[in-house]
A and B are shown apart, each in its own frame.
Chain A
Amino acid sequence: MSGTTETSGTATIDSVPGSAEFAARTHGLRKTYGRTVAVSDVDLAVPHGVVLGMLGPNGSGKTTTIRMLLGLTLPTAGTAELLGHAVPEHVDRALPRVGALVEGPGFHPFLSGRENLLRSAATEPELAGSGLRGAVTAALERVGLAAAAGRKYRAYSLGMKQRLGLASALLVPRELVVLDEPTNGLDPAGTREIRQVIADLHAAGTTVVVSSHLLSEVEATCTHAAVLHKGSLVTQGELTTLLESGGPNLVVAASDDVAGLEALRERGIPARRENGALRVELTEVDSPEVIATLVHAGVGVREARRGRADLEDIFAQLTEETS
């Protein structure tokens, strides 16, 4: 499935945007630091045009995977591909069309926001010399920093620094934008703005990979999700499929949880206690049967409603299974 866009024989033919099957892809990607396994056999596939949320607790290997994908770190084993180019061998051919904010913004405190961005812009292959200032101004406006552009970076707040990092990722129209924990240090308004930026990128056809340990954030902005846990890719796919994979279930507020759970389990109906209620899986039974079972066992049913699995549940399930 490797998108072989490098035609043999001919000199470096730049891959036509979108010619590779996936915007980013890894095969058996692995990274160990001494005896610590940071990332283990990750097969990540990011289709073109999606917003993929990389999900996982701190230390689950999200950032390391991203760093290997961008050629910042060499994998111990496995291969990676970025916009159809092998990483790290030909990563330079892909990077001009990739914007990234990895491990927080990095800028020089003695320069102003604008000067810092001008420095980044000067190294951007896709920008023509005449377009540098315009691109910088546009990027600053886009992240709402135009007013503070002349201030020294050292005087920026955490949120402003984060915005400047985002601006540098958006200096050039990109095919792929990688954002590692983009809402770190942002206030709720800033978080909303980042979501809007991601939505705009998505609407423009840009592929976005956004890593986060905040589940709600991923649920709000992504079309796809990849769940990492202890360095392994637990699952990946469309967010809706993932949410449905939890299966339909019924949340029952019963007068006696313990007795209710016992009754259900006796009849082989899978259920668990959750927040003072019973969550019953409806894979083999339907709601009336569940309620009948409970009532028969002398357990009063105060309320019963269809529960939709949210990302948090699925995440809990997935990570429990592998631990």
Chain B
Amino acid sequence: MTTTTPTATHRSSAPLGRVLLSELRWVLRRPRNLLALLGLAALPVLIGTVVALTGGPSPGDGPALLASVAGNGLVLPIVTLVMTQSLLLPLVTAMVAADALAGESAHGTLRGLLLAPVGRVRLVWVKATGVLVMTVLSVAVIAVVGVLTGLVIVGSDGLVTLSGTTLPLTGAIGRVALAAGWSMTQMAGIGAIALAVSALTEHPLVVLAVTVGGLIVFGVLGELPALEWLRPFLITTDLYAVADVLRDPIPTGDLITGLWRAGCYVLIGVSATVARMATRDV
């Protein structure tokens, strides 16, 4: 070698922290991911502004939850979560998962990672972390901006629950955090499945289509009375349970079921991704 020889170490893999950091930098440098976060941040502001200006939809006209935002600002982050959970957040999650493996494969960069080498199983963990971080950020952005917008609009005198009780500010913020945490687990479940699809294809669009299409199909199947036995398996079944944090006391049944279900999705998704990546032609 002609030039400076970097300090040679004899490892068969680079330090995990360095690889993770590089992965996160890659995820967060991507313009479309930043735009997605920006867009998600704008949503609570938009909804809050509209509600503040118009006084919200009159009861019976439009979603009941939306009506409760008027004069009750800390409901705003939770309302935004409910509205984005069914499509927008899964879309962002699927987009990042699509880039993670299918996108890398399409760019020929997956080869480079394996040749470095980043071990195949380790690569799945690194990629899963990248997707998870982006998912957590997406939800967190909505929660934080939602709280701030809500406080600016209504001031800080707490939260009136759907049950009629009033929670102090700290309790209200705890509820928002609970909703955000719960929402993150749901998105992590969806992200894990999207990652598994991403491991199967080299077309990022396929991942988007399968994930978002799957959710729509799940939603339809969940509505069919004849297929009621299927409902416990569908991640869409309890998605709206996140609004339960607005009741006092919180009915925990659906929330906990949703938690278990999301856990199963994560387990299945990650296992399938590892199984596929172990033998994938790259």
Contact = CB atoms under 8 A, between A and B. Distances in A.
Are A and B genuine complex partners? yes
Interface of A: 14, 67, 70-74, 91-93, 95-96, 98, 100, 102-111, 115, 118-120, 122-132, 134-135, 138, 141-142, 168, 172-173, 200, 204
B15 interface: yes
B19 A95 contact: no
A95 B5 contact: no
B35 interface: no
13 contacts: A72-B114, A72-B282, A92-B117, A95-B12, A96-B117, A103-B108, A120-B116, A124-B116, A127-B14, A129-B15, A129-B18, A132-B6, A135-B6
Nearest to A169: B115
B115 A70 contact: yes
Interface in B229-282: 279, 281-282
Given A110-B30, A122-B18, A123-B14, A102 B111 contact: yes
B9 interface: yes
A198 to B, nearest CB: 14
A14 B6 CA distance: 20
Contacts of A71: 114
Contact of A93 (B12, B22, B109, B114): B12
A93 B7 CA distance: 18
Contacts of A134: 4, 6
Contact of B3 (A74, A111, A142): A142
A67 B8 CA distance: 26
A204 B1 contact: yes
Contact of B21 (A14, A96, A122, A172): A122
A119 B6 contact: no
A126 B11 contact: yes
Contacts of A200: 2
B246 to A, nearest CB: 40
Given A95-B116, A96-B117, A128 B108 contact: no
Contacts of A125: 9, 11-14, 116-117
Given A74-B279, A93-B12, A123 B116 contact: yes
Given A126-B10, A138-B3, 14 more contacts: A92-B117, A93-B12, A95-B116, A106-B110, A108-B107, A120-B112, A123-B112, A123-B113, A123-B116, A125-B12, A125-B14, A125-B117, A127-B14, A129-B18
Instruction: Using C-beta atoms within 8 Å of the partner chain, give the interface range for chain B.
Output: 35 or more
A50 to B, nearest CB: 18
Nearest to B126: A123
**6 shortest A-B CB distances, which residue pairs?**
A106-B108, A131-B6, A122-B22, A123-B116, A95-B117, A138-B3
B95 to A, nearest CB: 14
B171 to A, nearest CB: 43
Contacts of B15: 129
A72 B14 contact: no
Contacts of B7: 127-128, 130-131
B57 interface: no
Given A72-B114, A103-B108, A106-B111, A173 B13 contact: no
Contacts of B114: 71-72
Nearest to A115: B29
B281 A73 contact: yes
B115 A128 contact: no
Given A122-B22, A129-B18, A131-B6, A92 B13 contact: yes
Contacts of A173: 1, 5, 8
Contacts of A128: 6-9
Contacts of B142: none
A122 B114 CA distance: 13
Nearest to B10: A14
B62 interface: no
